[in-house]
Amino acid sequence: MSRQRALEHRLRTLRTLGEAIEALRALSAQHFRSARARLPAARAYRDELDPLLAALGPAPADRDRDGPAGIVLFAADLGLVGDYTARLLREALELRRELGSGPLICVGGRAAAGLARADVRPHRTYPAPSSVAGLTGLLLPLVDEVLELHRLGALGALWLVAARFEGTGRFRPARVPLLPVVAPPGAPALRISVYCDPERLRRAVVREALYAALYETLLEALASEHGKRLVTAESARSWLDERIQQTQRRVSEVRRETSTQEILELVGGARASRREKTSGRMGAWGWRRPD
């Protein structure tokens, strides 16, 4: 009976774990759809900023700026993403070897632990958002800090290392240049009003363009992360279903063995009882019992 209880306890544990995996899969699917749905609007808004950047041109300070190149590494804090964080970490470390030891801003505690193992101390570490709603709370202080480092000369150029979405469960680590902010070649230039202060407009447009570029790229990174988690959760669910079926079969086998053993014990007890009664009657009637 103890073996049956152990198997039934394991079966309950597997079913509880399956419910947790199913809840995680549903949540990841929701975040995945939310990130993918916002990408077209983010790209359209970023494209609307290109004519302003083309009209303003590069800032005089940016033309001569020769500060160190920095990196923003965007990884994940949550698990069930396989080698997602490890691949992004390797890409960031390789880019750092190419660019030099400029400031590195890390988004995600798991990646920060990997940087520490590589003897790299990040300039600042931010918690990684797990949803689109959390991106705003991350990007506002991140953009302000980057622009302040750029203004102080501690940062000349800036690269973002993040996941590029290539399908559900598939991604590649990408290097995205963020600073200096320039318009793409061939972008039409708007006519700037003479009543507008060009430098004040430049600061506002550069900040907004940097925010838009980060927002668009991080939407893809979130879609990649949750797509990877979806595939992992689906694999975990398939594994759990197999284990649950195997455990159910073992429980059924143990129950049949237990039932058979109980029947055999009952039959054996009944036979023994009949033998005792027969032996008692033979003794009372004077029959000779066999030796």
Residues of the chain with pLDDT > 70, as a percent, come to: 91
> At residue 24, does pLDDT exceed 80?
yes
Q: For residues 223 and 44, give the distance between their C-alpha atoms in angstroms, rounded to a whole number.
A: 18
What does residue 77 show for φ and ψ, rounded to 5 degrees? -100, -30
Instruction: Give DSSP secondary structure letters for 53-92.
Output: HHHH-S-HHHHH----EEEEEE--SSS--TTHHHHHHHHH
Band (257; pLDDT cuts 50, 70, 90):
confident
Q: For 182-204, write each residue's pLDDT tens digit.
A: 888 888 888 887 788 888 888 89
CA of 218: how far to CAs of 43, 133, 167, in Å? 12, 12, 15
pLDDT of residue 156: 87
Give me 105's structure tokens: 């801003």
Spatial contact of 10 and 247, defined as CB atoms under 8 Å apart:
yes
For residue 262, is it within any domain?
A: no
> At residue 266, does pLDDT exceed 70?
yes
For residue 197, is it within any domain?
A: yes
81 burial (CB, 10 Å; 0-12 / 13-18 / 19+) is: buried
For residue 245, is it within any domain?
A: no
> At residue 139, does pLDDT exceed 90?
yes
For residue 238, is it within any domain?
A: no
More confident residue, 197 or 39: 39
pLDDT of residue 34: 95
For residue 263, is it within any domain?
A: no
pLDDT of residue 218: 94
For residue 284, is it within any domain?
A: no
CATH of the domain at 119: 3.40.1380.10
More confident residue, 221 or 7: 221
158 burial (CB, 10 Å; 0-12 / 13-18 / 19+) is: buried
More confident residue, 66 or 107: 107
Selection from 136, 147, 28 nearest residue 76 by Cα: 28
Spatial contact of 220 and 132, defined as CB atoms under 8 Å apart:
no
For residue 237, give every residue at least 6 positions away whose Cβ sits within 8 Å of its Cβ, in sequence order, or none: 18, 21, 22, 25
- Average per-residue pLDDT for the chain: 86
Which structural domain, as residue segments, surrounds residue 130?
A: 22-233
pLDDT of residue 280: 62
For residue 72, is it within any domain?
A: yes
For residue 156, is it within any domain?
A: yes
**Domain tally, the chain:** 1
What does residue 212 show for φ and ψ, rounded to 5 degrees? -65, -40
pLDDT of residue 78: 85
pLDDT of residue 19: 92
